[in-house]
């Protein structure tokens, strides 16, 4: 068997967008990803669905796998002919022991690449508003390990030289030794008034910063119960934090938000959450697929063959627009055959999808749901008219029922199917157990139903109870009603059934909760 290849990749400090393009490509092509605790959990979603995931990270209370065992694992996987991505937090060459892993691969002739990452020593302070250099405060910096025992620190660190060698000192993995580090720095010439900052879980939703001086930081750490992992920053640059703490000023900072939309639609919501300072965690529980049932396909063909007979074509979702146009292409139905029909849309996004295809919707309803559309079009509907409704298989029956009452013949077409998506996600299960999901967004009743079922299928019993501590944000009253019926406590509901309105409601709630 041909030998595989190992990519030794730096994942960056935690924010998944801080991985390099080269590192992301290595992750996306690998057969196996071997990752540790400090690698951003969302990055694992970038692997192929069939890629194997092996956790080898270290926790403060125990070592999941010794370094020698990790080295051997990488070698064995490569010798099996697999492409391996060894995903490490930060940069693999900065206290990442990448040299040991690469040396073993080199000795056995296994090809490998070292893909640098953004080290937490620089990125984490930056996210706390602390640049490691500043023209007026520090023109140099040092990165020092603080993880060892005091006697070993004394053997590996020349305190008399390190203390004043650079303007800024950065200690990684040194929270437990903060007292000893402070003592040595003061002993060798740094004033007790020297500013100090500890930034925990920098670039992630849990980011927290504690500031003080060399003289009082140990007591502050003890009083706050401040725990690792954290980057320690020593120097005048810490004073910049009060004016530069940029991410903490964003409205959704501190929230990890579960996004349950279909993957094809989730990116917009996830991007907006990220822009607002939140950390989106995409866990799609629904997907839309082309109609597969032969009987329904026959109905679609028959309905489109009568394109010239419709007075209305009513679309209730972006997915409906996309799949309707796909069926037009498949059946070679020219859109001009609908010249008699007027097009109507529920919601601005649906109207935008129509406009992108050269079709202008009738005036939008005040409420972006079926009931609002009927109110908006009431005066234009007339008995004897014919309306085509290209929708999904789970669409509500309100619209066709009300059209029928108005004397309009409603021709319903299930142009696509909604399917439950269940992806194995041990990370999500762990985060829910630890209370690390702070909010959940639901953009339809289907996402509510499917999330609870998906959680059950990945081994979470009584999922509605597990979500009780989360902020539940619904896009509209119908979705909210479904959530409540299934045992969830709805925290907030958007005033309008749009992503923008949902985000506005979330930011208002978050602002009130932080006061």
Q: In whole angstroms, what is the distance from residue 346 CA to residue 365 CA?
A: 7
pLDDT reported for residue 36: 83
> Do residues 110 and 83 lie in contact, with contact meaning Cβ atoms separated by under 8 Å?
no
**Is 36 a residue of the active site?**
yes
Q: Which helix (H) or strand (E) holds 245?
A: none
Q: Mark the ranges of the chain whose per-residue pLDDT is less than 50.
A: 61
Set 5, 15, 31, 36: catalytic member? 36
Set 25, 58, 245, 466: catalytic member? 58
pLDDT reported for residue 150: 66
pLDDT reported for residue 395: 81
pLDDT reported for residue 264: 67
pLDDT reported for residue 372: 57
Direct distance between the N- and C-terminal alpha carbons of the chain, in angstroms, rounded to an integer: 62
Q: What class is the 122-249 domain? A: alpha beta
Q: In whole angstroms, what is the distance from residue 98 CA to residue 34 CA?
A: 13
Beta bridge partners of 52: 32
> Do residues 346 and 316 lie in contact, with contact meaning Cβ atoms separated by under 8 Å?
yes
- DSSP states of 258-276 as a string? EE-S-HHHHHHHHHHHHHT
pTM metric for this prediction: 0.85
Beta bridge partners of 230: 200
Domain regions of the chain by residue span:
5-117, 122-249, 256-285+421-514, 304-420
pLDDT reported for residue 398: 82
> Do residues 209 and 274 lie in contact, with contact meaning Cβ atoms separated by under 8 Å?
no
Q: In whole angstroms, what is the distance from residue 456 CA to residue 474 CA?
A: 21
pLDDT reported for residue 424: 76
Which option is the CATH number for 256-285+421-514: 3.30.450.80, 3.40.50.10090, 3.30.450.20, 3.10.20.30? 3.40.50.10090
Q: In whole angstroms, what is the distance from residue 469 CA to residue 461 CA?
A: 16
pLDDT reported for residue 310: 97
| Intrachain domains 122-249 and 256-285+421-514 with the same fold | no
Q: What is the CA radius of gyration of the chain?
A: 28
pLDDT reported for residue 331: 96
* For the chain, counts of helices (H) and of strands (E): 20, 22
CATH number 3.40.50.10090 is the correct assignment for the domain at 304-420: yes
Q: In whole angstroms, what is the distance from residue 307 CA to residue 315 CA?
A: 15
**Is 61 a residue of the active site?**
no
What is the separation of C-alpha 209 from the centre of its chain, rounded to a whole number of angstroms?
Answer: 22
CATH number 3.40.1010.10 is the correct assignment for the domain at 5-117: yes
Burial classification of residue 321, based on how many CB atoms lie within 10 Å of its CB (0-12 exposed, 13-18 middle, 19 or more buried):
buried
For 192-218, give one letter per residue: b (16+ CB within 10 A) or e: eebbbbbbbbbbbbebbbbbbbbeebb
Cβ neighbours for 5, distance < 8 A, ≥ 6 positions apart: 78, 83, 84, 110, 111, 112, 113
CA dihedral 341, 344, 349, 354 (to 10 degrees): 10
Set 5, 15, 173, 349: catalytic member? 173
**Tokens coding 373:** 């559309």
pLDDT reported for residue 380: 84
pLDDT reported for residue 279: 94
């Amino acid at each position: 068997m041909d030998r595989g290849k190992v990519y030794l990749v730096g994942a960056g400090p935690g924010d998944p967008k801080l991985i390099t393009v080269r590192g992301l490509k290595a992750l996306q092509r690998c057969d196996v990803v071997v990752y540790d605790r400090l690698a951003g959990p969302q990055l694992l979603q970038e692997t192929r669905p069939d890629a194997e995931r092996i956790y080898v990270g270290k926790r403060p209370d125990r070592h999941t796998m010794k370094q020698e065992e990790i080295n051997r694992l990488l070698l064995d996987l490569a010798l099996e002919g697999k492409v391996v991505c060894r995903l490490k937090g930060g940069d693999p060459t900065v206290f990442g022991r990448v040299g040991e892993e690469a040396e073993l691969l080199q000795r056995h002739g296994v090809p490998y690449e070292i893909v640098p990452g953004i080290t937490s020593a620089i990125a984490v302070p930056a996210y706390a508003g602390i640049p490691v250099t500043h023209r007026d405060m520090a023109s140099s910096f040092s990165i020092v390990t603080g993880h060892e025992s005091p006697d070993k620190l004394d053997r590996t660190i020349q305190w008399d030289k390190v203390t004043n060698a650079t303007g800024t000192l950065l200690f990684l993995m040194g929270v437990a030794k903060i007292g000893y580090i402070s003592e040595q720095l003061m002993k060798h010439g740094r004033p007790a008034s020297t500013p100090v900052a500890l930034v925990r879980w920098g670039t992630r939703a849990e980011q927290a910063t504690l500031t003080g001086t060399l003289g009082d930081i140990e007591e502050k750490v003890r009083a706050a119960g401040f725990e690792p992992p954290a980057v320690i920053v020593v120097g005048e640059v810490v004073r910049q934090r009060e004016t530069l703490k940029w991410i903490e000023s964003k409205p959704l900072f501190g929230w990890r938000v579960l996004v349950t939309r279909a993957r094809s639609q989730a990116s917009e919501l996830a991007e907006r959450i990220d822009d607002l300072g939140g950390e989106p965690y995409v866990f799609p529980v629904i997907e839309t697929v082309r109609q597969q049932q032969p009987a329904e396909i026959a109905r679609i063909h028959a309905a489109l063959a009568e394109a010239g007979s419709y007075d209305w074509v009513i679309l209730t979702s972006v997915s409906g627009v996309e799949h309707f146009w796909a069926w037009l292409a498949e059946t070679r139905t020219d859109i001009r055959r609908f010249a008699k029909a007027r097009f109507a849309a529920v919601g601005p996004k649906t109207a935008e999808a129509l406009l992108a295809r050269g079709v202008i919707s009738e005036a939008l309803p005040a409420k972006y749901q079926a009931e609002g559309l009927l109110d908006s079009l009431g005066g234009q509907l007339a008995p004897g008219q014919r309306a085509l409704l290209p929708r999904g298989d789970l669409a509500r029956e309100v619209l066709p029922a009300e059209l029928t009452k108005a004397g309009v013949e409603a021709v319903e077409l299930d142009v696509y199917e909604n399917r439950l998506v269940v992806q194995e996600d041990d990370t999500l299960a762990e985060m829910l157990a630890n209370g690390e999901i702070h909010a959940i967004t639901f953009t339809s009743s289907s996402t509510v139903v499917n999330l609870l079922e998906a959680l059950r299928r990945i081994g979470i019993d009584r999922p509605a109870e597990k979500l009780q501590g989360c902020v539940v944000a619904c896009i509209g009253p119908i979705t909210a009603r479904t959530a409540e019926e299934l045992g969830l406590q709805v925290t907030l509901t958007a005033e309008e059934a749009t992503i923008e309105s949902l985000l506005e409601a979330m930011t208002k709630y978050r602002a009130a909760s932080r006061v």
